[in-house]
Structure 1
């Protein structure tokens, strides 16, 4: 938000008298401009609607609507950063547990703000059309990978774990090729064997989807699609709350896209549960 305020300040001397009134209102009440029409802004400072529109154009925007979208986005980002700072400084009126849970809630809010839904839908399409799906991970992320791989295999078949410590790892890796996808969980600390596995998969023609902590992750270099999602860390214990939220979203999208197949597979498994009298 500060960069936008600075831009208005630097252009102020070039404004007409009416435009300066709009600028002054923006300095005082940016939220009013973010959520009010150009007509309402003009009435507030006794200038015409066209004066407000020309003011935004003088700042380099196509019109008032584009300027307003930028202001709304910057205010939202500023609010998010403030919330993050407040989380980093625990609320003395809350318990330790409540502060930890607030940090997890914030991590999901950050995911909501940053996730690229188009990329997520591409991931769902890749899963749907893959000949075979391999799920792999750093050893710290094994639980996530095992859970997600198990659900995919149960729901749509043709999924298996690719684990470097497993005796059949190199046999599996040799079969990875065109038409297959590798879904990798690569959160710090990054392992050399993981990066080598992704490089090999790419060289053999497979597509690679990486879930990692940032766009700067070394694993992103080998990905066709990277889905960055922040991992919260308190007391040196990583919280994967936002990662679970992202995976659950992917699973739900897969369920919708492949509804008949998933429903049939789950029904078949349920029949086996009943046949073997699994549950109390």
Structure 2
């Protein structure tokens, strides 16, 4: 990751002498504040250094990008794993209109789902579903902000599979919970920037035990994907200091539905029994 950053910075430095006066101002700003520049629109970046939006676009093209969005994405890929929550909070006003946060966040989430739909690999998705049915035991781990996603997946898979284990940090060490893991098992790991070190260590442990690993994460460059046999990529670009997990949740929904459709009869029986239990014990209003 650091090497990628240095490559981009070297490109900017090598092109610097040939840049126009306005483009040099942009280059200097990015070299000094690339973490902030990554989350500025072309218009706001131009305003920050005193040049027009079109100058920013031409600067991106001069670096070899098709346009500013491609340059911005390269910058975001470099910094999003390193930003602290405080830094995210400082950048939020650049990502979301404070006067209309509702629409800003919803639009960002819609874009994350659209991008995920375009990029996700259906063959990998099918291979993961097959791996779920082939596994002796399925271990699901997602820590910190990904914990909710992991619990959601485990909750529904537990309704119609008998071999699902949810791995949590706290009441016992994660390695103790995975002590019987072997090559017949599958680990499903969920993680997004900033990636939990414990999740990464759990996957290293899984690989040592020769278990199959599936990652639900944001990029093939993710440390989870680097350790996985199957990687489902879900866009999670943040719209604020809060992680955007809408697209990952949609992918997890698809996993649950796909598994459920393959066990249609069992699912019908389970929910029939559950409806009787819910009615008997007044679970729902």
Q: CA 1:276–1:96 in 2, change beyond 3 Å: closer, same or farther?
A: closer
Q: Does the CA-based 8 Å contact 2:174-2:202 persist in structure 1?
A: no
Which among 172, 178, 182 is matched to residue 183 of structure 2? 178
User: Could you give the per-residue CA deviations for residues 26-85 of structure 1, whole angstroms, max 9, x where no partner exists?
Assistant: xxxxxxxxxxxxxxxxxxxxxxxxxxxxxxxxxxxxxxxxxxxxxxxxxxxx89x69x99
Aligned equivalents of 2:273, 2:130: Cα separation in 1? 24
Q: For residue 274 of structure 1, report the CA deviation from its aligned partner.
A: 2.4
Give the Cα–Cα distance (whole angstroms) in 2 for the partners of residues 197 and 91 of structure 1: 35
Aligned to 1:193: 198
Q: For CA contacts below 8 A with separation 6 or more, give which structure has more relative contact order.
A: 2
Partner of 1:208: 213
**In 1, Cα distance between equivalents of 2:96 and 2:201:** 44
Residue aligning to 2:260: 255
For these two proteins, the number of residue pairs brought into alignment is 198
Displacement after TM superposition at 1:145 (Å): 0.7
Contact 1:156 1:261 (8 Å CA) reproduced: no
Are the counterparts in 1 of residues 160 and 270 from structure 2 also a CA contact under 8 Å?
Answer: yes
User: What is the TM-score when the length of structure 1 is the normalising length?
Assistant: 0.64
Q: Distance in 2 between matches of 1:111 and 1:98?
A: 20
Deviation at 1:115, TM superposition (A): 0.7
CA distance in 2, matches of 1:191, 1:97: 29
Q: Name the larger-Rg structure.
A: 1
Match of 1:167 in 2: 172
1:140 equivalent in structure 2: 145
Q: Are the counterparts in 1 of residues 96 and 240 from structure 2 also a CA contact under 8 Å?
A: no
Give the equivalent residue in structure 2 for 1:99: 104
Q: Which runs of 5+ in 1 are unaligned?
A: 1-77
Q: TM-score, normalised by structure 2?
A: 0.63
Residue by residue over 1:132-167, the C-alpha shift from the partner in whole angstroms, topping out at 9 and shown as x without a partner, is 111101222111111111111113232121123232
Change in Cα spacing, 1:169 to 1:99, as seen in structure 2 (3 Å) is closer
Give the match for residue 224 of structure 1. 229
Q: Aligned pair in 2 of structure 1 residues 187, 90: CA closer, same or farther (>3 Å)?
A: closer
Q: Call closer, same or farther: CA 1:95–1:140 in 2, change over 3 Å.
A: closer
Q: What corresponds to 1:9 in structure 2? A: none
